[in-house]
Amino acid sequence: MYAPALTPVDVSSIKALIKPYVDALIKRDWDKLLAMATDDFVILPPDEPMVSGSKKVRSWLEAYPAVKQFDPEFDHIEGQDHFAVGYGHYTITIEAKGTSTKTNGKFVNTYRRDDHGKWLCACQIWNSNAPAATR
């Protein structure tokens, strides 16, 4: 079965998710952030077990340190019809216990198009570029 490749509009729509995602993350607006994800959303955080499903992801987010700055950028996005994958790099500053930490790293996200044509994040995996011994 043939599935058409992503259009430039699809790629732009996925890239356009970055700004509202970053805004929601910094404001800790989990309703807004999870509205951009599938109901079976999965995250694979660094050095932690996989977290799946909106309720569990929300609990994980509640415990995550405050994000002061986050600058993700896609390097590549591809897919077909209703499925897409994108990878890229980021810089993030988090604050925990009064200490700010700036890190850069890379990510891979998968997306699914819903029945209304809206792209939703289905899975995220990310990790730091720092060697494990310096984390």
Domain count, the chain: 1
Q: What pLDDT was estimated at residue 40?
A: 95
CATH, residue 47: 3.10.450.50
* 8 A C-beta contact, residue 86 and residue 74: yes
State the pLDDT at residue 130.
85
Residue type, 40: D
How much is the pTM? 0.91
Residue 2 confidence (pLDDT):
67
For 69, the token pair is 């700055």
- Count of Cβ atoms closer than 10 Å to residue 68 Cβ: 13
Residue ranges of the chain with per-residue pLDDT less than 70: 1-2, 133-135
Taking alpha carbons only, the member of 33, 47, 98 closest to residue 68 is 98
Please measure the distance between the N-terminal and C-terminal CA atoms of the chain and give it in whole angstroms: 46
Domain of 125 in residue numbering reads as 8-129
